[in-house]
Structure 1
Amino acid sequence: MTLTGKRRRPAPLVAALAVTALAVGTLAATAGPTLAATGTHPADTTQLLGNASFESGLSGWNCAASDQAVTSPVADGSHALSGTPTASDTAQCAQTVSVRPNSSYTLTARVQGSYVYLGATGTGGTDPSTWTSSAGWTTLSTSFTTGASTTSVSVWVHGWYGEGTFGADDVALTGPAGAGGTPTGPTSPTGPTSPVTPADGGFTHPVYLMPLDNSPQSVSDIVSGSGEKQFLLSFVLDSGNCTPAWDGDSTQTVASDTTVLADIQAIRAAGGDAGVSFGGYNGTELGATCGSSAALAAAYQQVVTKYGLTHVDLDWEGDDLDANMALRWGAIKILEQDNPGLTVSLTIPMTTVGLPDTGKDEISQAIADGARIDVVNIMDFDFGLTSGTETAAAETVADDVNTQLQSLYGWDSATAWAHTSIQLMNGHTDQPSELFTQDTFNALLAYAQGKHAAALSYWDVNRDRACDPSVPHNWADGACSSVTQDPWDFTKIITQYNG
């Protein structure tokens, strides 16, 4: 994130004004191991949900006030679920069932409507979800493996804020029955105050890593030394003629890359995942040179396809802030349509009072163009510390963003937090007035945990080591923290975050 580290930062931004509406989605499905992989046999598989086709109304389900069982339209039988989300409620319907630890399950449903989501929480691992938009009935499916101590999970289906009525039918959770043998029934409250699933629930603490710059550590060393298995690899830029390349280097094009691909394969082999960040403070972002939304979407798609991505981060900074927005969001809309499981985060530099005008404009344009933003990733540093402590200042900025999102979109606080990622910077930042120590990180970990933010992240792993005192270093060096530390101190703290 540093200027010396080919990421950042301009001078502190001026105070921001009101924010405009934000469209968000939820995390794409994460497939679990096969039945054979966990020793679960097909003979153990059964449908675990009660009243799965809503033939007995909403009995056995915990649903929002607007949900109802209707006789038309239906996918099968005589009834189906119909939900109508509002500006502050997704019209979720959920059911809690008994399951077995260390076992594989498949969740399916027939759905119709705009932005219909299906998923499960409390699985003890990566909670899965998937979504679609369809005028007619279509099947959604995802799977997961329960944790070693998991004995129940909550499965749910819902629409999206203000996106119109949706339908669901034939919901099925198949796998080995738990000790209870039958559904345990609803356990959570209904309506807008229901627990909110984070927008990127399976990617709760991705740390940034520059895999080809700033003396990167090996992925195997990071994983073994810190336990971190979630990464945002940075940055893909334009090396000329709308050609995606790492750091914008024509010798490191995505098309010819083998090094980063091997890193991603190693991360996944360790049980983790990686996303890719486009942009940064330096270099030429693809949206500045690709001449159309279609061309930009094709460039982004090349990266998504190359690495099999389900997470992308849009880090538009410097001259790219609030620039070519119609072209950029037109491209993201195409990308989302072509990759329905893709999660998109928008990274925005902060002011002392939250979102800058440029960030608000970006969100407003996304809404106008029908592009979905799943997570707003706030760069909670480099705004300059004018008084108080670094911890208090970072909390105030994040609180301001939360209040802004509530007022602009009609959300309650929990919903706004569920779509906000807090990004920190370890050690010296680009602003000499700022310093993030291990104690600062620990305090902000507790803060984010209490808010149930979508994610807690930081820039960056390359800097998670002490500087060599015998060698001159920049104030915010790209390859070390400039503070006293042991290797992986900051990453170990971030990795503890679980939402």
Structure 2
Amino acid sequence: MVRTRSRRPRERLSRLLAVASAALLTIGGLVASTTTAEAADGELAVNGGFEAGLAGWSCSAGSGAAVASPVHGGTSALKATPAGGDNAKCSQTVTVQPNSAYTLSGWVQGGYVYLGASGTGTTDVSTWTPSASGWQKLSTTFRTGASTTSVTVYTHGWYGTAAYHADDISLFGPGGGPVQIPAAPTGLAAGSPTSTSVPLNWNAVAGATGYHVYQGATKVLSVSGPSATVTGLAPSTPYSFQVTAANSAGESPKSAAVSATTTSGGGGNPGGGLPAHALVGYLHTSFANGSGYTRMADVPESWDVINLAFGEPTSVTSGDIRFSLCPVTECPNVESAAEFKAAIKAKQAAGKKVLISIGGQNGQVQLASTGARDAFVSSVSKIIDEYGLDGLDIDFEGHSLSLNNGDTDFRSPTTPVVVHLIQAVKTLKAKYGSGFVLTMAPETFFVQLGYQFYGSGPWGGQDPRAGSYLPVIHALRDDLTLLHVQHYNSGPIMGLDNQYHTMGNADFHISMADMMLTGFPVAGNQSRFFPPLRPEQMAIGMPASTQAGNGHTAPAEVTRTLDCLTKKANCGSYQTHGTWPALRGLMTWSINWDRYNQWEFSRNFDAYRWS
């Protein structure tokens, strides 16, 4: 969160984001050196020259056709025409050998043409050209994983652009045997149910390209990764679930069944008591900036969760957190401590939640030792008790989670600052019980960039902080009331459509939220699949005004974001993987900046609040 007293500029993080994004684009366009073909290597793509029409190929939304001109070789080529909601993806699944090297190439013509391979079991690859007025060759290489027996090769264009052409698509490498129907999934388990949903996860199955979830005898979901959340359930009701694995050869037998009973209601989230759809805001209480100081008693009823910004450390590594009201020399209208505490009680009596937020742009916290961890628990408890607060907001930014030990699996972190933070928060949760409200406000760099990079990762050389919040979110997902990722002060981030999205518009918010609500392979590895969060745990973070941070979103785009995510309406170019009417709501930086902007953000949300 951006402040102005003793500020450190955000340019460094912005540069890191730009470098990471540019690096990935560059990597996607590199032609890797050709490996020496072994005796068993051969051409694996079927009908790569489209001489047999579209035989062997499947094109989304009927977007593809074989044409006689222009062609690169032979007498036919592919012509595929994107639409506003479709990128004209044409693909085929090819059998391959595990632990083997492959070269994918093809000739393309047109604007924004992509060639890639997915399901490699290692790092999925793609290459592209933004413009090819004549035939241009695209090429990339990849290596399959230890259990990979099939990959999907594809071409696609860009939403709403002109048609593209492709010809002579080639996948060269060791051939595989016939694709086998995958084995039944194992390890099916149910997470913590809510009154209307049950999260499920299971072990990934070799050779599977997707999974089907059954509720009793009825197929209710189809997903690409080894986790899903079944929604639309009745409260206080037992359910039984099974899962199958599928690929081009067919569907496996069903897994062993798992049973779960939904809760009785009341929102179903840890630290309940929030309305079904809530507005979260940060209140500048310990400092002043251009937005002006707002007294607690003057915060409008619109705000359901008020995060006090900020509790700050006495030093980066001490773990000792202190909180005090803005000094009168900086904030002439600041209330007294007694008035502040009385106003908090009044808000709580009206059903509002008031939390202490730790961190912010300048408040770097590194719990690198057990001593720092224990000091954090003790000092945060003291603040909560003194002011009678409802819980804690973790707003660690910058270098707070940067001391990475080379962890590559978010499920088993060993980095001390990560492990100690998880332990500290669990200790606080245990101390205050089920009513403890826990929220987090990481930046997109530390969450969604884990889709591309995480830890040392397969790419090498990237900022080790990329995706570093993922193990914290995952370890605390059953304790987490709300995750409100900051969808601002960010560079372009890749969504699940493998396209880059830029902040400040509905598509960015929709694609970033869809990633957290659908789940995603971390650093492109399906075996490290980050399970989706429940929609009632999700709020979307936006700046309240143009002065509050880069990425301000106009009210009409905010409305379009909520329409798409909760109703699957008004979605634009990005198509979500689901519909989430239980989405909790919005977060903004900040209440003060919203007041400065004549309450535009909160008034728009109040007018929208959906049933």
Q: Are 1:210 and 2:355 counterparts?
A: no
Compared CA separation, residues 248 and 266, structure 1 to 2 (3 A): closer
- Deviation of residue 282 (structure 1)? 0.7
Compared CA separation, residues 393 and 340, structure 1 to 2 (3 A): same
- Deviation of residue 247 (structure 1)? 6.8
- Deviation of residue 237 (structure 1)? 0.8
* Residues 288 and 320 in structure 1, CA contact (< 8 A), matched pair in contact too: no
In structure 2, what is the equivalent of residue 375 of structure 1? Answer: 482
- Deviation of residue 278 (structure 1)? 0.9
Q: Secondary structure at the match of 1:427?
A: coil
Q: Secondary structure at the match of 2:485?
A: strand
Q: Are 1:62 and 2:237 counterparts?
A: yes
- Deviation of residue 290 (structure 1)? 8.2
- Deviation of residue 459 (structure 1)? 0.8
In structure 2, what is the equivalent of residue 424 of structure 1? Answer: 542
Residue type matched to 2:296 in 1? V
The separation in 2 between residues aligned to 1:368 and 1:442, in whole angstroms, is 32
* Residues 456 and 497 in structure 1, CA contact (< 8 A), matched pair in contact too: no
**CA deviation profile, 1:32-78 (whole Å, cap 9, x unmatched):** xxxxxxxxxxxxxxxxxxxxxxxxxxxx96311179xxxxxxxxxxx
Residue type matched to 1:455 in 2? G
Compared CA separation, residues 355 and 232, structure 1 to 2 (3 A): farther
In structure 2, what is the equivalent of residue 439 of structure 1? Answer: 556
Compared CA separation, residues 204 and 494, structure 1 to 2 (3 A): same
Q: Secondary structure at the match of 1:65?
A: strand
Q: Are 1:232 and 2:298 counterparts?
A: no
Q: Tell me which of 432, 451, 457 is aligned to 2:587.
A: 457
Compared CA separation, residues 92 and 441, structure 1 to 2 (3 A): same
In structure 1, what is the equivalent of residue 444 of structure 2? Answer: 350
The gaps in structure 1 that reach 5 residues or longer are: 28-59, 68-85, 94-117, 122-126, 132-141, 145-199, 466-479, 482-486
The gaps in structure 2 that reach 5 residues or longer are: 25-121, 124-189, 195-234, 243-254, 331-335, 404-416, 455-464, 493-500, 568-579
Equivalenced residue count is 323
The separation in 1 between residues aligned to 2:518 and 2:241, in whole angstroms, is 26
* Residues 239 and 250 in structure 1, CA contact (< 8 A), matched pair in contact too: no
Compared CA separation, residues 89 and 336, structure 1 to 2 (3 A): farther
Question: What are the equivalent positions in structure 2 for 1:80-91 lying under 5 Å apart?
Answer: 91=260
- Sequence identity of aligned pairs in percent? 17
The separation in 1 between residues aligned to 2:383 and 2:466, in whole angstroms, is 25
Normalised TM-score (structure 1): 0.53
* Residues 401 and 468 in structure 2, CA contact (< 8 A), matched pair in contact too: no
Compared CA separation, residues 410 and 62, structure 1 to 2 (3 A): farther
* Residues 205 and 230 in structure 1, CA contact (< 8 A), matched pair in contact too: yes
Compared CA separation, residues 443 and 354, structure 1 to 2 (3 A): same
- Deviation of residue 92 (structure 1)? 1.9
In structure 1, what is the equivalent of residue 601 of structure 2? Answer: 490
- Deviation of residue 328 (structure 1)? 1.7
Q: Secondary structure at the match of 1:291?
A: helix
Q: Secondary structure at the match of 2:2?
A: coil
Q: Tell me which of 506, 510, 520 is aligned to 1:391.
A: 506
* Residues 193 and 268 in structure 2, CA contact (< 8 A), matched pair in contact too: no
The separation in 1 between residues aligned to 2:312 and 2:322, in whole angstroms, is 6
Compared CA separation, residues 490 and 371, structure 1 to 2 (3 A): closer
Q: Tell me which of 300, 318, 321 is aligned to 1:244.
A: 321
The separation in 1 between residues aligned to 2:309 and 2:364, in whole angstroms, is 13
Q: Are 1:364 and 2:471 counterparts?
A: yes
**CA deviation profile, 1:201-248 (whole Å, cap 9, x unmatched):** 66722211112433222334332xx63343122111124665432379
Normalised TM-score (structure 2): 0.44
- Deviation of residue 277 (structure 1)? 1.2
- Deviation of residue 458 (structure 1)? 0.8
Question: What are the equivalent positions in structure 2 for 1:318-357 lying under 5 Å apart?
Answer: 318-323=398-403, 324-341=417-434, 342-351=436-445, 354-356=448-450, 357=454
Residue type matched to 1:402 in 2? L
Compared CA separation, residues 220 and 24, structure 1 to 2 (3 A): farther
In structure 2, what is the equivalent of residue 308 of structure 1? Answer: 388
* Residues 349 and 355 in structure 1, CA contact (< 8 A), matched pair in contact too: no
* Residues 205 and 497 in structure 1, CA contact (< 8 A), matched pair in contact too: no
Residue type matched to 1:397 in 2? M
* Residues 243 and 299 in structure 1, CA contact (< 8 A), matched pair in contact too: yes
Q: Highest Rg: 1 or 2?
A: 2
